[in-house]
Amino acid sequence: MSNRTMLEINHDHYPNSKAQEQAWLVNMLAYLRSGNPRNLPHGVTFFNVRHHSDKCPLGEPPFGWNNEKPNPL
């Protein structure tokens, strides 16, 4: 399948307890299984899904697609 999901994670909505962490993970896993953005945890915004062979609309990530480039900071 080789689909890629583009998400934004709002760090202000970080889980503050073990129960909240578990709920966050359950929702994220539900999204990964289904591909349905309605399953995403609170604070995670869906932007797009693309096949790996499609050009990324956001361009090349700062560390490259394999995280092998040096830190640009």
At 46 the pLDDT is 95
pLDDT per position as a tens digit, 12-60: 998 999 999 999 999 999 999 999 999 999 999 999 988 988 888 878 7
pLDDT bin (cut points 50, 70, 90) of residue 69 is confident
pLDDT at 60: 78
58/6 Cα distance (integer angstroms): 9
Q: Which residues does residue 45 pair with via DSSP β-bridges, in sequence order?
A: 8
Give φ, ψ of 6 to 5 degrees.
Answer: -105, 115
- Which pTM was predicted? 0.75
**Rounded distance between C-alpha atoms, residue 70 and residue 54, angstroms:** 25
Per-residue pLDDT, 66: 73
Q: Exposed, middle or buried, 37 (CB in 10 Å: 0-12/13-18/19+)?
A: middle
